[in-house]
Amino acid sequence: MVPAQRVPSDVQPDDPVSADAASAADEGAVAVEAPPAVEVEAAVEGPLDTARSSVAEGQLFSRPKAGGVHAGHRYNPGLDGIRAISVIAILLYHGGVTFLPGGFLGVDIFFVLSGYLITSLLLLEHDRTQTLHLKNFWIRRARRLLPALVLMVAGVLVLFPMLDVEWPQSTRGDALAVLFYVSNWWFVLRGESYAQAFEDPSPFQHTWSLAIEEQWYLLLPLALLVLFRSPGGRRVLGWLLAIAALASAGLMAALQSTSDGSRAYYGTDTRLQGLLVGAAFACFAVSPMGRKLLDNAVVAVLGWIGLAGLLVAFVLAAQADPRMYQGGFLLLSVASVLVVASVVGTSKLSPNVLLSWQPLVVVGVLSYGIYLWHWPVYLVLSPERTGIDGVPLLIVRIAFTALVSIASFVIVERPLRIGAPPNSLASPQVAGPIAAAALVAALVGVAVPGVAGIKEESADSVDSLAAVAADRTQGGTGANKILLVGDSNALSLFAAVRDDPGPDVNLSIATRFGCGVVPYTASVEGKPLSPEQPLCTDWAAVREMEIEAAAPSVGVLFAGSWEQYDRWIGGRTVPYTSDAWLEATTADYVQVLREILKYAPRAVVVLNHCHQVPDTGLPAATMFAAGRYPPVLNDAKRVAATNEAAKKAAATLGNKVAVIDPNPFLCKSGYTSELNGVTLRTDGLHLTTAGGKLVWGWLRPQLTATR
């Protein structure tokens, strides 16, 4: 008997990002004698009360016992354990657990695992047949992924309006992008960063990773076929995949330094690095040298190091940290590969014992459904709707997610695996999901535009504010050339009145959407974070040029919510209550006022005022990057601190700077959502169109009086 070739031992469609590979028997990737021999064994369904009952028929096993290959291949649940840790991190991250700001990295672990599993199966199929059956492969992917996805999309489109859950105007396009597996590029085209997306969240926001996975399924087999037919292609395949992973990481770093975060975060080319790292490892794992080395105790120890690295990343990483885009995601992928390598090895020193704990395995088995459903469930079970918050809300959200995921698994996913259909588009199990997808697409076109959940004030959405910021068209032709300088709150005022600022006004704006007046490094829960880098760094460099181009007769500086945060200075947190914070914030305001006074005879400071941003339960780093961190923005003491700095800055420059306080007008009795029967804000922060006109009617006479 020739040595058995190692194959993936946990290939099933139950991971949140990929649902990748419960296809060994479907593909015919069971044992045939060929040099080198590929000896595998089909899984046997166990009782429903065991974790093994979830294993798809045809799942591969790879661990020989002394009694012989077929007697000894047994289920390796460790990879399900990896899935579980990853999806749990995502659940906690989106649930607002503050000590896991890096929980979003669970998606990247799934990328690595998927790259390894799918590439391994394709390599083994090519070893057997000297080709790849692309039609069969893609049909299997559709059969295993589409049903649960269609169920989720249909459920959201039907239930959200019934439950009066608000969703953004873009939901129609979001749903169609989900069904066609292009949602990641859809978000790029909308220019929406991962953090900004949660300001007005789509129920399909999380599907960007599913789109990348499906694009991977489309591209990888084609690329492998080309490489297999190239001279020396198979011998250098692993190296080529590793080089491609480095190129993907390099592209992410380059894009992060030259554009906003959406292109680097959502792009298929930039996020392929994790999949490519897993694929490169697969080439090593199925090689003779790899099969020998994976059983080494050193690999087992490296697995523990990799697992520790993942846990540390969950605790320390931040989505807004530029270092994540400058090699951080690649390092995370390498750590993930170390864990996978130790789990598929046979050393008893590996983390497999820990990762094979049955509760983890069960979570891993259900992880595809958990990932699909968790975000819509979280949106439905909001603090406002449930009346609870914190840990109790998180428990309720996870419990409901588990119930829906189990139902999806029992009703949709598992029956399709048990009744493995033929690889034919005409088979009911394949044609059914495709027909359902078409039906849902029709439902999207008919139902979504008119549902109650879409906010009527679509002109005040984040997307429209971003468009106004990019447009910069001046409003009015009057003699009073008023320039507004500030953050997105000032921008919302400009957007509301630009078309009709008054007969005596020419109105312009100098701002950068997603940035404060003067970008700085903030401290959020003791960690340094910078808003929307590198966009804001560029804004600091061009702000004075935009002021000069406007040539205003009066420049208006809006003290804003971005300045309310603690600062990170000299490697430590400087709280807003300290003299050092007041000095630094005052200096920033003085800097901007000096720039205004270089090109305008007068300047005005409009003080900060009350906000009431809703708590969405998201992590601090995510909400900070979106400019929506409630504990800071809703703190009246922090509002007062920024106003103290702004007044001090105005006093520093003498009588050339006037100060206007909107609080007696807007916040006479604290925060209010309405004034004189007019809804003031879209989200507790930005002004509605009607609210902006009301505020401008109060503010404009005071600005023109300063001429």
Structure tokens at 469: 């910021």
**145 and 85 part of one domain:** yes
Rg over alpha carbons for the chain, rounded to the nearest Å, is 28
**444 and 464 part of one domain:** no
Does some domain include residue 631? yes
**444 and 467 part of one domain:** no
Query: Where in the sequence is the domain holding 357, given as residue range(s)?
Result: 24-450
Longest dimension (CA), the chain: 95
Comparing CA positions, the residue from 635, 662, 536, 642 lying closest to residue 588 is: 642
Which domain CATH number covers 483?
3.40.50.1110
The predicted structure's pLDDT at residue 196 = 55
Does some domain include residue 178? yes
Phi, psi of 606 (to 5 degrees): -100, 120
**412 and 477 part of one domain:** no
One DSSP character per residue, 384-441 reads HHHS--HHHHHHHHHHHHHHHHHHHIIIIIHHHHHT---S-TTSHHHHHHHHHHHHHH
Comparing CA positions, the residue from 602, 609, 600 lying closest to residue 493 is: 609
Does some domain include residue 264? yes
- Residue 614 CA to its chain's centroid (Å): 20
Distance CA 492, CA 464 (A): 9
Task: State which residues of the chain have pLDDT below 50.
Answer: 1-74, 420-422, 424-426, 430, 445-463, 532, 707
In terms of C-beta density within 10 A (0-12 exposed, 13-18 middle, 19 or more buried), how is residue 429 classed?
middle
**Residue recorded with tokens 């909107």:** 662
Distance CA 421, CA 444 (A): 29
Comparing CA positions, the residue from 296, 302, 287 lying closest to residue 348 is: 296
Number of domains in the chain: 2
| β-strand partners of 529 | 522
Distance CA 698, CA 40 (A): 77
The predicted structure's pLDDT at residue 570 = 86
Does some domain include residue 6? no
CB atoms within 10 A of CB 163: 11
Each residue's pLDDT tens digit, 357-384? 999 999 999 999 999 999 999 999 988 7
Domain end: 416, 450, 484, which one? 450
Query: Residues near 541 by Cβ (< 8 Å), separated by ≥ 6?
Result: none
Distance CA 690, CA 576 (A): 33
**603 and 648 part of one domain:** yes
**384 and 493 part of one domain:** no
One DSSP character per residue, 499-510 reads T---TTEEEEEE
**397 and 476 part of one domain:** no
**479 and 509 part of one domain:** yes
Residue-wise burial string across 372-396, b where 16 or more C-beta atoms lie within 10 A, e elsewhere: bbbbbbbbbbbeeeeeeeeeebbee
**In this structure, are residues 294 and 344 in contact, taking their beta carbons and an 8 Å threshold?**
yes
**204 and 334 part of one domain:** yes
**463 and 411 part of one domain:** no
Domain end: 432, 450, 468, which one? 450
Does some domain include residue 522? yes
One DSSP character per residue, 643-676 reads HHHHHHHHHHTGGGEEEE--HHHH-BTB--SEET
- Residue 517 CA to its chain's centroid (Å): 26
Domain end: 450, 475, 490, which one? 450
In terms of C-beta density within 10 A (0-12 exposed, 13-18 middle, 19 or more buried), how is residue 570 classed?
exposed
The predicted structure's pLDDT at residue 530 = 62
Amino acid at 631: P
One DSSP character per residue, 442-491 reads HHHHHHGGG-TTB-S-GGGSHHHHHHHHHH---B---SEEEEEESSHHHH
Comparing CA positions, the residue from 667, 153, 206 lying closest to residue 447 is: 153
**In this structure, are residues 545 and 538 in contact, taking their beta carbons and an 8 Å threshold?**
no
**226 and 256 part of one domain:** yes
Does some domain include residue 103? yes
SS3 call for 606? strand
**157 and 82 part of one domain:** yes
Cis peptide before 428 (omega within 30 of 0): no
**Residue recorded with tokens 């290939």:** 11
The predicted structure's pLDDT at residue 496 = 87
Does some domain include residue 3? no
Q: Using alpha carbons only, what angle is made at residue 45 by residues 356 and 363, rounded to the nearest 5 degrees?
A: 35
Does some domain include residue 235? yes
The predicted structure's pLDDT at residue 451 = 39
Amino acid at 413: E
